[in-house]
Structure formats: structure tokens, C-alpha cells
Structure 1
């Protein structure tokens, strides 16, 4: 007899069905062998570089022969002299697991040395490793803002920052229109509040006295590169706006560089370094899972902030620390970057970005597809992420996948309703031929969809006796070519 499902399963199944009906159901998939990657975040293809792989394996082999120290020493008795002395060989460190959280047995000289190296590379006073950039954001935003402080964030900020804000004790959390810094740009950009407008609102009146006088802090959260739209934050303007409105020095800019580290700045130091803002940005969150080609994350900050996070960041305190292989992979990737070996990969990537954008623009000009069917979601290209907006993202993604090109559909709630898309992610290992093949597949899908639409309109016209169909589309901020 089949086991009766508990009532909770019925409730959960109903919620899943509701999401399925909206076309928003998520599921786990695997990439078929031989598929061309236009989906992953490994922009520089470091994880598949033979030189990087060989250096990483050599590190593991060396550690197996000469185990790395983990700071744990056992006192043993010498049977000849009857005296005690340290003998680390009786308690050899593990190459697989770290043994606990950083505050217990999971810390190691290697982890601390890596943090010093990473801080130096990114020109920051200090660094603190986390198991992921999400953990870093949740830990940072969850514990640093104090009661009465405010967090102001770009409306497209990553979900991990929202999770951190939910845990935060900050009194106010206010979003501003994506990429809109100055008040004079509010109307031009569609009426959303600008960063300047939000900050000035915080400082007005009796309630704003604390912010105005510098007694309360404002944390401003932006990303270097936005993962869904591929655009770059106007970071110089953001910093200048914060310094101008909060002139008592109580404005603190936090930049999530998960998608800009490795791509921007000399030797992949990131957007903050490229713009020379290291001393004007309070904290940076770096993710290792994108262009760095590894896993994990870190916060770049002051030494005092690092000590505070060690004491209060729950995502650091209550989780097992990185194992040796994770630390070794980060070391290997950063040594490759620091030596300048990634420059040819970056040159290849930038060339592919421009060629892909050129081909997609030409496709749109050639066939003039309705904006709801296909449009580019960005006017200028500076990153490997190209959003191709469509009302049928799953259909388009499936069409491309069937032809051997892995792109993913991005639907609500990951992006707002009406801004569904496929996201084309480019990599240094992609070729011009692969890019041409992907754009050809997209073009074939567009022509097929437009032909189907015309046939449907003809049938409707014959049934109703009308001579044509007027199509009215709502203007969109992303519809400009």
C-alpha cells in the first residue's frame, strides 16, 4: 500500500503547481556533453585553463607529501628522556575538511596568509574569507548597521543583500532607481527616485537630524557589474553623491564586485581599483565563483571591521571553514591573475563581447522583431553579460539548447515581470564561430516566431473580416536600440 503523503506535502505541491502555471517553476538541470557554454559565470575560463589546472594539482600533490600546518600541535612524551615536546605528526592536518568554523579548529596559517595576499592584491587594509559571496553579503549587512542606521540600495541589488538587510537592525532600508544617481536624472530615467533624492530625504526634518549631523550612518549598496543586465555601476558618481550629501563622513559605500573582479582593473583587481576608489569605498564583497573560476567569497574592509565581523557575522561564526583544496584553488587562480597571465584571455573576451553585440544589433536591425518578441536589454556593452529580452524566454532558450548552445531563461521573480530574458554569458574560451552559431540560432527562432504570428493574424483576420491587426506596445526603458 502506498504511503499517504502528509498534509504539508499537499500544501507544498499546490504552491509548486501555482508557480508552474505562472511559468516560473525552477528545476535542476545538467549540461549535455558537447554543449557550447553561453551560460556559466566563468568569464575568463580560468577553471578550464591547463596552466591553472596543472598548478592546482601540483599544489594538492605537494600538500599530500608535505602536509600544510593547521596550527594544531599535540604534546607527546619522549620515551627516552621522559620529557614532553610538540609532535604535529601525531595529529596531521586534513587535506579534505577544515575541522570546524574559523573560530574553532577551522582556522589555519594558510587561510590567514591567503587573506593577507588577497588584501594586498586588491589594495585593501584587510580581507576576511567567507564560504560564498552570498554568505559575505548576508554576514556584512546582517551585523554591521546599528539600530537607527539606514541602508540605501540599488533596486537591482543581489538577493543576498536583501537577505542581509532582513537580518539587519538598521532602522530604514530604502531602494533607489537602478543606476540613477542624481536628482536631475529622475524624470529622464522613468520617474524612480535617485540616490541623491533618497539621501536628501533621509536628512530632512527632525527625523533626519541624526543623518544630517553625522550621528547615524547610511550604508549605500551597489554592484560593480549587475549580473542580470550586464551594466556597470556609475561608481564615481555614487561615491561623489554620498560624500556630497552626507558631508559629515557618515556615508559608507559597499560594492559587490562578484561580477567585476577579474574583469576590471589591473590584474583583475576589480572596478573599485580601476577607478582609483580604494580609499573612498568602505567595503567590497568579492566572489570567487565568477571570473576567478573557484568558489567562495570575501569582504575587503578595514582591520577593525574585519575584527567586528569575526565577532558578529553569523555566516562566518556558525559555519565550517573552507577546506585546504578550496584555499589552494583560490591561491592558484590569484597567482595566475597577479602574474598577468590572464591578460590574453581578457583581450579575447573583450573582442568576443563587441562581436556578439554587433551581430545581435544587426539581427534586430535586419528583421525589426516586435519588442516583446526580442530586444536587447542594454545600449552600451562593458561586461560579458548580454541580456536578450523576450516574452518567451523558455521557448527561445530551449530552441538554442536543442542546437547545442547553452543559454538559460531568466524569468520572474529573478527579474521583474515584463523583463524576462535569456542571458548570454561570454567566456574567453568561446570562439567567433560559436558566437555566430548562437546568433544564427536566435535569428532562426525569431523568423519562425514572426512567421507563426503572421499566420495567426491572417487566420484571425479571415474569421473576423478585418483587414489587419494593430499592435500597440508599451514603451520600455530597455526597448531602445
Structure 2
């Protein structure tokens, strides 16, 4: 058994795509999901520190799942607060966006249903679909005609799964049009807002006021909010169904109350600091003005630069690192061969000088 595992690892090593855990690098950050800089914001950290000093119990472990000993007033109050902020009837907290998607797509659809996913949907959704026993169909990325042709043929209850902002290409879903198709064909639309929350206010569902047309949405807090965890926004009936049947909720020890406090105050901090989002979008515009070819949206904090060769991509990343820039290469087979890319994440704290210097090096390679 170990020999089989080692052969697979050796093959990855030979092709230069072996993953290993490394210490956190020191450099100019163009690779993290900390879009608004909240993970290192001193003012936010000080407020949370004061909260802990006032109530050290926040740091205690929850001691069990929320169905046993892990439920607290803080968790319930935070869920009610999140639901109110997003104008949904209910919210259910999870330890991660992965677990939230696992709960939704492994629990709600059954073997009699169909899940129609964008071909670039997050891996967590694909993993959950395998657990659900539902039929899974893919539609071409952001292709409304292909999606409608699939919807037109459905005779069973169906779900559509999309992201509002995709993390590999950095492009936006035609959310309003897909919501209209879901409504037309009486299909439940589920939207992952992991990368849109905080970047576009409370996400694109809230921005376009599509709450009544989106069956459920996933908000994650480890990216723009600089915290940890996730929430499913949904109807009260859906929340109760997940509490009763979702394994990734039922059998997970609840997070400590500090996590829920950090999320709630994060929302308040976003209200107090609208300039962070404004600065982020200014930096996105600066990057776009450097005329780097990219499939990404002109308003996305994720800008993908295609370098269709694993070795050339590795050389580019190493050159950037030698110049103090931290970027993330996405090799095949994570993406299709020939679509390897450098994934650049822009932040509110990046400077114009650093963005220009970064793009100058990239231009030398492409």
C-alpha cells in the first residue's frame, strides 16, 4: 500500500508539482485571500483582544457538537445577526466553506434529484455531489445557453450550483441571468459567495437583491473578513433540515465562541471602513491599466495570468519571489493542461509601485 502511495508522490515530484507544507513566506503579498487586509489589521485585532480580556471564556473550547454541548448564545446571536445583515430568513454557521458546501450538496439533493454545476465550481461541491447520490451534470463555464439547454430537459427536481466570483479565472458569474433561468425552470439556485463577500459589499446576491431568487448562499469568513468559518444563508426550513440531516454539521465539534465574535465584529468593521474596499478597487484598476492579458474580470481582485507550461510558470514564480513578490502558481492537473496560470490576488494594502514592479517582471515572461 505504501509503495503505491510513494509511486504517486514520486510521479508528482518528477513533474515538479509535488505539494509540500512550507513556513509562511516573507514578502510582498500578491497570493493570499486577505483582500481587505483584515487578517493583519491592528485596529481590528485590538478590539478583539479587548473582547477576550473582558471575557476570557471566549477562548474556551466548545466541548462538543452544537447538538450536544457546543451550542451557545453567542453562536445563535451571530447567526441571527448574519441572517439580518444579508436579508435572509436564517443562517447556519460552519467551521469552513468546504464543510458548508459539503452539508448543502450531500444533504439536500437525493438520488431522485439532479445537480447542475458550472464546470469550474469549487472542488468541495464535486466532493459533496458524490456523497449525495444525486445525478450530476456540468454546464460550460458561465454559458447561459448551455445551462438552459440542460434545464429544458430536466424532469426531476434540480439544483444549480455556481460561484459568484470564480477563484481560478477571477471572473464573475452572470448571476442575475442565471437566477432568472432558475426561476423560469423552477430550479433551486445555490451560490458560493466565498470570494465576493467583502469585495463587493456583502456579496453579489445582496448587491443585486436576489435573496428571494437564490435558494441558498454560502458566505465564508477566511478571505476578505480575515477570520474563519462560514455561514449558509437560507430559509428556516432548510436550516432545520441541515441541522437534522447534514453530517458535516451534526458530527463536527463546534468552534469556540471567539470565532463567532470575530465574525460578528468583522461585519461591523466593514461598515466602519468602507475605504478599504475602495482602495482595493483602485488597486485592481492600477493592475488592469498595466495591460497584462488575463481572462479575469476587470473588477475582480483575482487576476489570472495564463502561462501554459508548468516549468515556465515555476520559473516565473521563482523570479518574482527572488524580487520579493509572493504569488501562487496553479499547475495542471489542478487546471487543465495548457491553462496553467499565475494567480495574482490584489489587496487594499498593495502599493501602486509594487503593482507596477510586479507586472513589469511578468511582461518579461509572457
Aligned-partner Cα distance in 1 for 2:334–2:272? 35
Partner Cα distance (1:159, 1:96) in 2: 32
Please show how residues 415-434 of structure 1 align to structure 2 within 5 Å.
Answer: 415-434=335-354
Normalised TM-score (structure 1): 0.73
Name 1:299's counterpart in structure 2.
232
- Are the counterparts in 2 of residues 255 and 284 from structure 1 also a CA contact under 8 Å? yes
Q: Superposition pairs for residues 144-293 of structure 1, below 5 Å?
A: 144-170=108-134, 172-182=135-145, 194-202=146-154, 211=155, 216-244=156-184, 246=185, 249=186, 251-264=187-200, 268-293=201-226
User: Is contact 2:317–2:329 with CA below 8 Å preserved after alignment?
Assistant: yes
Distance 1:98 1:136 in 2: 19
The answer on 1:442 being equivalent to 2:362 is yes
| CA apart distance, 1:13 | 1.1
In structure 2, C-alpha distance between the alignment counterparts of 1:197 and 1:21, rounded to whole Å: 42
Q: Tell me if the contact between 2:65 and 2:251 (Cα under 8 Å) persists in the aligned partners.
A: yes
Is 1:346 aligned with 2:277?
yes
Deviations 1:287-323 (A, max 9, x none): 1111111111111000010000001111111111011
Q: How far apart are the structure 1 equivalents of 2:115 and 2:339?
A: 26
1:359 match: secondary structure: coil
Are the equivalent residues in 1 in contact too, given 2:171–2:295 (CA < 8 A)?
no
Larger radius of gyration: 1
What is residue 11 of structure 2 aligned with on the other side? Answer: 18
TM-score, normalisation: structure 2: 0.96
1:147, CA displacement in angstroms?
2.5
Distance 1:196 1:169 in 2: 23
For residues 302 and 25 of structure 2, what CA distance do their matches in structure 1 show? 22
5 Å-filtered alignment, 1:24-63, equals 24-33=17-26, 35-63=27-55
RMSD (CA atoms): 1.3
Aligned equivalents of 1:335 and 1:63: distance in 2? 19
User: Who is 2:244 aligned against?
Assistant: 311
Alpha-carbon distance between aligned partners in 1 of 2:222 and 2:36, rounded to the nearest angstrom? 11
Runs ≥4 residues deviating over 6 A: none
The reply to whether residue 130 of structure 1 matches residue 123 of structure 2 is no
Alpha-carbon contact 1:152-1:220 (below 8 Å) kept: yes
1:44–1:342 Cα contact (<8 Å) kept: no
1:377, distance to aligned residue in structure 2 (A)? 2.7
Count of aligned pairs: 363
How far the C-alpha of 1:445 sits from its partner, in A, is 4.1
- SS at structure 1 position matched to 2:44: helix
Q: Describe the SS at the equivalent of 2:84.
A: helix
Superposition map of 1:101-112 within 5 A: 101-112=65-76
Deviation, 1:358, is 1.3
Q: Report the Cα distance in structure 1 between the residues aligned to 2:334 and 2:193, rounded to whole angstroms.
A: 19
In 1, the alpha carbon distance for the partners of 2:266 and 2:280 equals 17
Give me the whole-angstrom Cα distance separating, in 1, the residues matched to 2:147 and 2:364: 42
> Whole-Å Cα distance in 1 between the matches of residues 346 and 272 of structure 2?
19
Give structure 1 stretches of 5+ with no counterpart: 1-7, 69-94, 183-193, 203-210, 362-374, 447-481
Residues 41 and 290 of structure 1 are in contact (CA less than 8 Å); yes or no, is this contact kept in structure 2?
A: yes
- 5+ residue gaps, structure 2, are none
Given that residues 31 and 406 in structure 1 are in contact (C-alpha distance below 8 angstroms), is that contact kept between their aligned partners in structure 2?
A: no
Q: Which secondary structure state, in structure 2, belongs to the residue aligned with residue 103 of structure 1?
A: coil
CA contact (8 A) 2:78 2:261 kept: no
Q: Secondary structure at the match of 2:361?
A: helix
Distance 1:428 1:296 in 2: 22
Q: In the aligned structure 1, how far is the partner of 2:350 from the partner of 2:294?
A: 21
Contact 1:230-1:385 at 8 Å conserved across structures: yes
Shift of 1:436: 1.4
> Tell me, what secondary structure is at the counterpart of 2:191?
strand
8 Å CA contact retained: 2:142, 2:174: yes
